[in-house]
Amino acid sequence: MPNLKDLKNRIASVKSTRKITKAMQMVAAAKLRRAQDAAEQARPYTERFNAVMGKLAASVGDAANAPRLLAGTGEDKVHLLVVMTAERGLCGGFNANIAKLAKLHAAELLAKGKTVKILTVGKKGRDAMRRDYGQYSVGHIDMSEVKRLGYADAQGIAAEVLKRFDSGEFDVAKIFFSRFENVVSQIPTMQQVIPFDMSEVGEVDTDSFYDYEPDEQAILADLLPRGVATAIFAALLENGASEQGARMSAMDNATRNAGEMIDKLTIEYNRSRQAVITNELIEIISGAEAL
């Protein structure tokens, strides 16, 4: 049985930890509101942008004349997996769930004889993927210096992906992130960004007619690179909200667990203290009777 001093030190340590987790919960709650608003406001723009590109893509009759970002390379051999996670931990299973989805997809591709290349965004994703798929890593993008996420950050990641595509390093690119639902629910998501996936758009209205100036191919050649950056930016915003929601939930659980531990340790401390007092009284009474 630990002595009273050890129990007292443990109670003080857990109380200090509870203060930290409570403070982190409050910080995450404050950041969550801004991150959630940003993610929700980006969704209508992303959906409308994809709808416009889907309509343009559907109007391009000959796939041979379509831009490479739409038609692809004609192959399906090399896949680039862009795994986007957080730079920090202490956010529950947020990072692990994204990495798990990426690992499962990588395993499926390798089982089919495909070549896998992994580009990580965020330190936690790099560490998680490096343990099992480190030999497939082709690069890492550090976001630790980013104070406030902006579209320019997504453009930087998109530029890296597009540069690799233009140099013929891969045929298909997919991004992995966590879509924000609410504080307790974040859904790991995989989305294909190269070539442009028409299944992400849904049903395209082909009954309406438009005249394009310049032609559809020229417009798509300009919009498709922006579409990659837009998809990455939307994913980063979803990740930001999901991270704060997961951290808020994790720190709330940690705070409650610390409170329960303090209660148990306090009961144990009181029992041990009472036992010490009882023993001292017995010794005093025994000594008095002996006299």
The parent domain of residue 257 ranges over 4-18+252-285
The residue whose two tokens read 């709808």 is 51
Which pLDDT belongs to residue 15? Answer: 92
Do 276 and 151 share a structural domain? Answer: no
Same structural domain, 172 and 257: no
Exposed, middle or buried by CB within 10 Å (0-12, 13-18, 19+), for 261?
Answer: middle
CATH number at residue 268: 1.10.287.80
Four-CA torsion 40, 126, 152, 248, nearest 10 degrees: 30
**Are residues 150 and 238 located together in one domain of the fold?**
yes
Q: Is residue 178 a contact partner of residue 94, using CB atoms and an 8 Å limit?
A: yes
Residues 34 and 174 in one domain: yes
Which pLDDT does position 233 carry in this prediction?
92
Residues 166 and 264 occupy one common structural domain: no
Q: Each residue's pLDDT tens digit in the chain (291 positions)?
A: 568 888 889 999 999 999 999 999 999 999 998 999 999 998 898 888 888 887 877 776 555 667 788 878 888 899 999 999 998 888 888 999 999 999 999 999 999 999 999 999 989 888 888 888 889 988 888 888 877 888 888 989 999 999 999 888 888 999 999 999 888 889 999 999 888 877 666 555 555 556 666 767 777 778 888 888 999 999 999 999 999 999 999 999 999 999 999 999 999 888 888 887 888 777 778 777 766
What is the rounded CA–CA span in Å between residue 203 and residue 161?
A: 28
Number of structural domains, the chain?
2
Catalytic position from the list 7, 11, 91, 219: 91
**Based on the domain organization, do 162 and 34 belong to the same domain?**
yes
- 291 within domain boundaries: no
**pLDDT at position 201:** 61
Q: Which CATH number is 183's domain given?
A: 3.40.1380.10
Query: Do 133 and 230 share a structural domain?
Result: yes
Interatomic CA distance for residues 97 and 26, integer angstroms: 24
pLDDT at 62 (0 to 100):
58
- Residue 76 and residue 195 in one domain: yes
Please tell me whether residues 127 and 31 are part of one structural domain.
Answer: yes
* pTM, to two decimals: 0.84
Whether 20 sits among the annotated catalytic residues: the reply is no
State the pLDDT at residue 291: 62
